[in-house]
Amino acid sequence: MKQTLLILGVLLGAAQLVMAEPYSVDYSKSKVEFSGMHAGNAFTGMFKEWKSDIDFNFDAPEESQLNATFQLESAETGSAMYDGTLPTADWFDVSNTPEGTFKSTSIQEVGAGQYQADGILTLKGKALPVSFPFTILTTKESGEKKYYSVNAEFSLNRLDYGIGEKSDPSLEWVDNKIVIKLQIIAH
């Protein structure tokens, strides 16, 4: 019986070593941006309200989880025309789908400090798979805390999510390719 308890204790201890750790995001230093082209001119915006849950294990990235929720009505570009259009039914449809989400399904290390995330991005009620590379760098250490910078950039096709499909289905005004850029500072 003692041997069984000892083996169980060792196994539980080993399981704790490979469990992912939750990280706290510093939202004042982090951002989620989007950009694209409208009528031949570049535009950039950001989501002002979002939340991310990061449970990460550097020794076993496959045990990690990255999840995010962002309030679509918080999208701002600095242009009154764009900011007035984005919440409408044809674009983000915030009255029916106020949130967008990302939930990781797989995380793999692909190089030193370089990872690949696969997951499901949901916008306007459409849940589609996305994959993107990201990097994690140690930015500073303060006492026992290590601060990390998580950076990613990937693109998606807006029409795949039904964004602007009624007012601009032929891509005459807004390009289909929208670039998402993440910069997250966490400890």
What does the alpha-carbon distance between residue 173 and residue 43 come to, in Å, rounded to a whole number? Answer: 12
Name, in order, each residue with C-beta under 8 angstroms of 177's C-beta and a sequence gap of 6 or more: 36, 37, 155, 156, 157, 158
Percent of the chain with pLDDT over 90: 82
Q: How confident is the model at residue 19 (pLDDT cuts 50, 70, 90)?
A: low
Tokens of 63: 């045990």
Secondary structure (DSSP) of 108-162: EEEETTEEEEEEEEEETTEEEEEEEEEEEEEEEEETTEEEEEEEEEEEEEGGGGT
pLDDT over 60 at 11, yes or no: no
pLDDT over 70 at 6, yes or no: no
The pTM score is 0.85
Q: What pLDDT digit, counting tens, does each position of 106-162 carry? A: 999 999 999 999 999 999 999 999 999 999 998 877 777 888 999 999 999 999 999
| For range 69-84, the mean pLDDT | 96
Q: How confident is the model at residue 165 (pLDDT cuts 50, 70, 90)?
A: very high
CATH 3.90.950.10 fits 20-186, yes or no: no
The kind and range of the H/E element at 46 are strand 41-47
Q: Nearest CA to 152 among 105, 100, 103, 117?
A: 117
Q: Nearest CA to 136 among 153, 121, 152, 118?
A: 152
The kind and range of the H/E element at 30 are none
pLDDT at 145: 81
Comparison of pLDDT for 97 and 15, the residue scoring more? 97
- Residue 90 contacts residue 42 (beta carbons within 8 Å): no
Going from N- to C-terminal start, the domains of the chain cover 20-186
pLDDT over 80 at 80, yes or no: yes
- Cα 110–chain centre separation: 18
